[in-house]
Amino acid sequence: MAPEIRSLLAVLLLCPPLLGCPPEYEPAPQARVLTSVALLDAGAVAVGERRTLGLELRSQGAAPVTITDIAIEHQGDEEPFVLLPWDDGSGRLELARGSEAAPTIAVAQISYRPEQAGIHRALLTVTSTDTQVEGGQWHVALRGLSMHPCASISPVWHDFGPRSSGSYTTASFDLANCGLVELTVSGFDLSDSSTFSVLTADPVYVEAGASETIDLAWVPSNTQPDGATLSLLANAPDHSLVVELLGNDCERSAHPGWDDDGDGWFSCAGDCDDDDALVNPSAVELANGVDDDCDGETDEAANPTSTDDDDDGWTEDAGDCDDADPTVHPGVAEQADGIDGDCNGIVDDNTERLDDDGDGFSELAGDCDDADSGVYPGADEPRDGMDNDCDGLLDEGSAAYDDDGDGYSEDAGDCDDDDPWTHPQGAEDCDGVDNDCDGETDEADACAYLAERTVDTGLGEPRGCSSAPGGGAMSMLLALLALLGITRKDAPRPM
């Protein structure tokens, strides 16, 4: 090695600062990181009811993070989102350090309490010592949907029939929730009766699409006609939830217990012997010592069937089934009175008491079309433009029906008819869903409120010597190259 090179290496070894040095840094503060969800959905809630939401706040940085404020800014006049106490009274909440795999978690509770039907939105802001978001603020969108429940009762009339004094009889009716929010019955009003009672304890909660059975009891104090009106106290102001109760009232009844002999005539409707099916107002009088036609006379011969005894224009030969009652004859409009008023052999047909179409439900039992055997409470609901199950809704469950209550059916362009936040005019939320059904997700400024994190290298600010061009390393490099050039110049050339 040439003497000049050996000298230069010695200088470099003895004076390392001349080569420059790696940068030194100030100690970096440990990162404080707070994370949460971007959207909190309260779902659908009945007007006047409440639902509590839990908002997880997670500390996953190397240092503790302190929450200094949580505030809610509503959109609109109503303010249904209420922040419940979240701190220890000091206005601060400190979360110990954590990690992404094992965060330290605190839960802030928000109560959704809508007093009006409609869509509700708000923006929740969490202010903290998070070092990676601007101002230490994390934003969470809040949304909720409120509406009145839908309810239906079947049957709306219950006839206990004839019962002896002191007997115990039970009955029941179904309470169905035909809407999208929970139906709540807070109580039962039977204040006008001491003999009828409700066996089912209140409150009663009926989930959307479900039904509950309400049990009743009756203990008559005598054999006189008895009745009462049962009112359900519920959060369904658009529906009349009333059940009529009846017992020991033959004249208002359609109960078969009042026709013991099965001849179609009730004892209170002219049957003078309800143990003999051959004795009733429509029977032919025979010479048998019996008042067969219940007209108060026995074996009378002065009233031939060709004579119009009650002057209603109809003789027995012409079809008058009670020629002693001028309000009974063919063609009379049938009344709900337990009498075969039109003499067609059917008592109370075409009235609300009788199941005219044979589907097992009368109008009093909830049949909304007693001329169609395919229409009754609980029937299948095909897509035919009819309320087949008598719940007040048409074609629910089909593409023609707005199942989620957002005003749009599948036929009208709703791309998700189970989500009330998704329809052609939906507001685009930052939820990974195509809320406005335009084929795009979270477009425009749907996620503009989200906090943007800065990149943290974990290093502080550089300090000490510099490695920039022109420093010791570069100077020594140039010197070395010059020296090598000189060495090459002075070296003997090969012959």
- pLDDT 10s digit of each residue in the chain, 495 long? 555 555 555 554 455 554 455 555 555 578 999 999 999 999 999 999 999 999 999 999 999 999 999 999 999 889 999 999 999 889 999 999 999 999 999 999 999 999 999 999 999 999 999 999 999 999 999 999 999 999 988 888 899 999 999 999 999 999 999 889 999 999 999 988 999 999 999 999 999 989 999 999 999 999 999 999 999 999 999 998 999 999 999 888 878 888 899 888 888 888 899 999 999 888 888 888 899 988 888 887 656 778 888 888 898 889 888 888 898 999 898 888 778 888 988 878 888 878 888 898 888 778 899 999 999 988 888 888 899 988 878 888 788 889 888 989 999 999 999 999 999 999 999 999 999 999 999 988 889 888 888 755 454 455 555 444 444 445 555 555 555 554 444 444 443
**Residues 194, 133 share a domain:** no
**Alpha-carbon span 281 to 273, nearest angstrom:** 10
Total domains in the fold of the chain: 5
Residue 158 lies in a domain: yes
Cβ within 8 Å of residue 459, ≥6 positions away? 25, 28
Is residue 21 a contact partner of residue 465, using CB atoms and an 8 Å limit? yes
Residue 217 lies in a domain: yes
Nearest residue to 44 via CA among 406, 391, 397 = 406
Q: What is the DSSP track for 248-287?
A: S-GGG---GGG-TT-SS--GGGT-S-TT-TT-STTSPP-S
pLDDT score for 20:
52
Last residue of some domain: 131, 146, 161?
A: 146
**Residues 155, 136 share a domain:** no
Residue 432 lies in a domain: yes
Last residue of some domain: 146, 168, 187?
A: 146
**Residues 40, 21 share a domain:** no
Residue 83 lies in a domain: yes
**Alpha-carbon span 423 to 416, nearest angstrom:** 7
pLDDT score for 269:
82
CATH code of the domain covering residue 194: 2.60.40.10
pLDDT score for 479:
52
**Residues 345, 304 share a domain:** yes
pLDDT score for 264:
82
Domain that holds residue 164: 151-252
**Residues 133, 155 share a domain:** no
**Residues 97, 15 share a domain:** no
Residue 451 lies in a domain: no
**Residues 160, 81 share a domain:** no
* DSSP-derived secondary structure letter, 85: P
pLDDT score for 491:
44
Last residue of some domain: 98, 113, 146?
A: 146
Q: Give the position of tokens 């994190």.
A: 453
**Residues 142, 101 share a domain:** yes
pLDDT score for 456:
55
**Residues 155, 141 share a domain:** no
Residue 474 lies in a domain: yes
The β-bridge relationship of strands 81-83 and 169-177 is unpaired
Is residue 193 a contact partner of residue 223, using CB atoms and an 8 Å limit? no
